[in-house]
């Protein structure tokens, strides 16, 4: 039986970050009930408001990654603004920032400054390359760290240039690691061990996600190259064009899955072909196997192939675009899309909370708010500032 309580209720987060990695990390926390106070510049706002596609001048992705938050404005370049940050930090559990190394310390809002009044404070620093080492002060956007971490090098075809993913892989993967790190630090704090700083370079989570490449190089000297959609350890694996112009993906990671793929495609004779009798032999003869699969698949429509795969429990499925996801029955059954009423755009649909909890599920209560939407509530309600003081700070450009 589910309850109305969310698992992170009572956790308060001050989000000083901008653009993608930091705001998405706090989105994950807000999705489960954390009270996230999102700080923007009074005039410029978060750059994500102007990034990517817009509708009627409203940035669409901002609405997603800043959902469930309370937006306020503070000019961090103003000493009075930094005073407000120090006051807010005394009232929160976590602070998240993604400025260049040394910036918050120079402003007098580094960890030591904030923890002086709140020793249980947890502060997350998200930078391109971490806060130590020769690259500590270098700028680092997601595309750069994807290249630096080695992810771009293995992506693409062997006779072409390395490819950077067409979405924010470096930032969004770091966001997950950052949210996880917050929960580890909160647990540690709640055991009576106080607050601490978290130092995460955007590339570090992605480097971890490279899987066996590091130990393979260390022990065998093997550098993984680009294989397109293939895999140097598994065959068959890849994407295949169908008769009706769609694509399907295949992954035969085990002997049993390979056999089911062959039966689904009516290629039973491949099961007795010595070239394909083991995974190692299939990898060695991968081009020949892929050609046989390609010739079989191109003669069928995508939906027919998917039906055959499900009949035979074969690991073959559709290559969906985003429009396909909007009409897919599995996506509908899992509730992976949620519709929310937005005051600027009207009804909007976006990805729902990704993880299902049996008793305390997360949810999306509102989209990313308009700039300064919660100024009065936070400065008045949380900090106890009077209306005249709030107006004075607004007139002075502090908020």
For residues 85 and 63, give the distance between their C-alpha atoms in angstroms, rounded to a whole number.
Answer: 24
CA dihedral sign, ordered 199, 203, 207, 209? positive
For residues 7 and 30, give the distance between their C-alpha atoms in angstroms, rounded to a whole number.
Answer: 10
**Neighbouring C-alpha atoms within 13 Å toward the C-beta of 56:** 4
Residues serving a catalytic function are 171
For residues 230 and 12, give the distance between their C-alpha atoms in angstroms, rounded to a whole number.
Answer: 45
Beta bridge partners of 351: 337
Q: Which two tokens stand for residue 109?
A: 């809002």
Cβ atoms of 85 and 110 within 8 Å: the answer is no
Alpha helices in the chain (DSSP H): 21-30, 60-65, 79-89, 103-106, 111-115, 142-149, 169-188, 202-208, 213-220, 255-264, 279-284, 286-297, 302-312, 322-327, 329-334, 375, 387-395
Among all chains, which residue has been given the structure tokens 């969906």?
320
Non-local (6+) Cβ contacts of 327 within 8 A are: none
How many residues are listed for the chain in this entry? 399
Give the Å distances, CA to CA, from 141 to 23, 78, 167, 170, 205: 14, 26, 12, 8, 14
Residue-by-residue DSSP string for 344-358: TTEEEEEE--SS--S
């Amino acid at each position: 039986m589910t309850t109305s309580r969310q698992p992170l209720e009572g956790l308060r987060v001050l989000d000083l970050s901008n653009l993608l990695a930091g705001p998405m990390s706090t989105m994950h926390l807000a999705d489960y009930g954390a009270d996230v106070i999102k700080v923007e510049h009074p005039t410029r706002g978060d750059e994500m408001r102007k990034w990517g596609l817009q509708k009627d001048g409203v940035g669409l992705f901002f609405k997603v990654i800043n959902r469930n938050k309370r937006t306020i404005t503070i000019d961090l370049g103003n000493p009075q603004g930094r005073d407000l940050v120090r006051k807010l930090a005394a009232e929160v559990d976590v602070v998240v920032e993604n400025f260049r190394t040394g910036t918050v310390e120079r402003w007098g809002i580094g960890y030591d400054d904030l923890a002086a009044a709140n020793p249980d404070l947890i502060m997350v620093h998200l930078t391109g390359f971490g806060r130590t080492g020769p690259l500590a002060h270098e700028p680092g956007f997601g595309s750069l760290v994807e290249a630096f971490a080695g992810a771009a090098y293995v992506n693409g075809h062997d006779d072409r240039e390395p490819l950077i993913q067409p979405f924010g892989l470096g930032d969004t993967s770091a966001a997950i690691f950052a949210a996880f790190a917050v929960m580890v630090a909160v647990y540690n704090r709640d055991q009576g061990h106080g607050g601490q700083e978290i130092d995460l370079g955007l590339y570090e989570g992605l480097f971890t996600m490279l899987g066996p490449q590091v130990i393979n190089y260390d022990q065998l000297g093997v550098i993984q190259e680009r294989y397109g959609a293939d895999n140097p350890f598994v065959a068959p694996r890849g994407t295949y064009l169908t008769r009706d112009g769609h694509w399907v993906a295949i992954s035969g990671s085990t002997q049993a899955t390979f056999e089911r793929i062959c039966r689904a495609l009516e290629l039973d004779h491949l099961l007795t072909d010595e070239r394909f009798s083991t995974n190692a032999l299939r990898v060695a003869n991968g081009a020949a196997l892929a050609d046989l699969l390609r010739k079989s698949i191109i003669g069928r429509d995508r939906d027919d192939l998917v039906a055959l795969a499900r009949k035979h429990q074969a690991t073959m499925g559709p290559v969906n675009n985003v429009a396909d996801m909007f009409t897919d029955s599995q996506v509908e059954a899992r509730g992976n899309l949620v519709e929310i009423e937005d005051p600027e755009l009207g009804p909007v649909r976006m990805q729902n909370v990704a993880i299902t909890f049996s008793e305390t599920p997360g949810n999306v209560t509102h989209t990313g708010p308009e700039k300064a939407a919660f100024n009065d509530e936070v400065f008045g309600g949380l900090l106890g500032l009077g209306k005249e003081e709030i107006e004075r700070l607004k007139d002075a450009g502090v908020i």
